[in-house]
Amino acid sequence: MMNAAGVLRQVAATGYRFTTVTPLTHQRVLARRGREPGATLRDIFGWNLPFEAGTVPPELLAGMEQAGIVRRTGSLLRSTVRIASLGDDLFFHSAYPTVEENAVFFGPDTHRFGRFIRYALNPRKTKQPLRVLDVGCGSGAGGIAMARALAAMDTPCTIVMNDINPLALEYTAVNAEAAGIPVTLAQGDALSAVEGDFDLIVSNPPYLDDAAQRAYRHGGARLGRALGVRIAAESLKRLAPGGQLLLYTGVAMVDGEDPFLAEIRPLLTAPGFEWSYAEIDPDVFGEELERPVYAHIDRIAAVGLVATRTAEAA
C-alpha cells in the first residue's frame, strides 16, 4: 500500500468525516440510493459507491492508484477500502460488504470502544513511558484512541499493535502513520505474539458466533465468548503491577444471566485485582437472534471490563 498514508492525509485535509454504520444499515442506505454513482468523498470512501474518475481531484486519484486501493467496475471506479472517522483521526478499513475471511471491520462497536477507553482509562503515574498493547487491533482504532487519551493526560507511552490478520496490521500501520503515532506491529494469536508485561492492555475481540467463522466476527465457542474469555485471562496474567485491562466485547445473554461475566469472575476475584464491569449497550446486533444458534438467548449486550492489578496476583 505505497503512499496510502498520503491518501488518508489528502482526504483528512478536506475535512472529511464519516461515521460507519452496521452492515444492515449500510445495505438499507445503498438500496435507497439506487444506482447513481458517488458524487462526494463520503459517497466514495464512506458508502463505498462506484464513481467517475473526474469526481475526485486528480492528485487524490493518482495517490489511490499508487497505493493500489482503486479498481475499475465497468465504466466506473471503486475504492477497495473505506475510510471512517473517530475523533480527528481517519482509518482505512475493508470495502463493503465485509465478506472476506481477512476483512478488517470498523463500525458502531469501534465508536463505543473508543468512548469506553476515554472514560475508563486511569493510568498509573510513572516517569517511564507506559507500555501499551492493543490485542486484536483490527484497524488500530483502539491503540490510537489510547495514545490520544494518554497524550491529553501528558502521559508518554509506547504502543504494540497485535492481530492475527496480516491485512489488519497493514491497515493499522497506515492509520498510525497518518495519525503520526509510532507503533510496533506484532502478528500472531493474541498474547502469544508478544513478550513481557504491559501497563495498559486494550481489546475489542469479536464476539459473534459467525457461521462462516470470519476472524473479524467469530468469537469462537460458547455463543462467541470463548475468545474474549481467553484474551481476558491471558491479559490479566500479563499486567504489570498497577497495570490496567480495558476490554470491550459483546455477550449473548441467556435467561437474564451474563455467561461471560460468570466465566471470568473467578479470575477477577483472585487476590491482587480491582475491577468493574458494566453494560455499555443492552441490545446490539438484534438481527442475529433470527439465527438458530441464538434461538434461546434474550439479547446480545455490549459490555466493558476494567481490571487493575494492584499487586502480584495469586
Q: Can you state the angle between helices 108-120 and 141-152, rounded to 10 degrees?
A: 30
Could you report the per-residue pLDDT of 132-144, keeping only the tens digit for each? 999 999 999 999 9
The answer on pLDDT for 314 being more than 50 is: no
Q: What whole-number distance in Å separates Cα of residue 139 and Cα of residue 170?
A: 9
Could you report the per-residue pLDDT of 57-94, keeping only the tens digit for each? 999 999 999 999 999 988 999 999 999 999 999 999 99
The answer on pLDDT for 37 being more than 70 is: yes
Instruction: Classify domain 108-309 at the CATH class level.
Output: alpha beta
- The answer to whether 149 and 121 have CB atoms below 8 angstroms apart is yes
| Coil/strand/helix, residue 182 | coil
Q: What pLDDT was estimated at residue 297? A: 96
124 pLDDT band, cuts 50/70/90, is: confident
Percent of the chain whose pLDDT exceeds 90: 88
The answer on pLDDT for 313 being more than 70 is: no
Q: What pLDDT was estimated at residue 216? A: 80
Give the residue with greater pLDDT, 313 vs 200: 200
Phi then psi for residue 159, to 5 deg, are -120, 130
Q: What whole-number distance in Å separates Cα of residue 73 and Cα of residue 60?
A: 18
Q: What pLDDT was estimated at residue 107? A: 95
- The answer to whether 160 and 131 have CB atoms below 8 angstroms apart is yes
Could you report the per-residue pLDDT of 252-282, keeping only the tens digit for each? 999 999 999 999 999 999 999 999 999 999 9
Q: What pLDDT was estimated at residue 220? A: 87
Q: What pLDDT was estimated at residue 22? A: 93
pTM beyond cutoff 0.85:
yes
Chain Cα centroid distance, residue 266: 27
The answer on pLDDT for 204 being more than 80 is: yes
Could you report the per-residue pLDDT of 159-198, keeping only the tens digit for each? 999 999 999 999 999 999 999 999 999 999 999 999 999 9
Could you report the per-residue pLDDT of 84-96, keeping only the tens digit for each? 999 999 999 999 9
CA dist list (Å): 254 to 123, 249, 281, 289, 296: 34, 16, 16, 12, 7
CA dist list (Å): 58 to 55, 64, 176: 9, 10, 25
Q: Half-sphere exposure (CA, 13 Å, Cβ side) for 103?
A: 21
Could you report the per-residue pLDDT of 234-257, keeping only the tens digit for each? 999 999 999 999 999 999 999 999
Going from N- to C-terminal start, the domains of the chain cover 4-94, 108-309
In the numeric block, the cell 439506487 is attached to: 34
Q: What pLDDT was estimated at residue 312? A: 61
Q: What whole-number distance in Å separates Cα of residue 111 and Cα of residue 84?
A: 10
Could you report the per-residue pLDDT of 156-165, keeping only the tens digit for each? 999 999 999 9
Percent of the chain whose pLDDT exceeds 70: 98
Q: What whole-number distance in Å separates Cα of residue 105 and Cα of residue 138?
A: 7
Q: What pLDDT was estimated at residue 98? A: 87
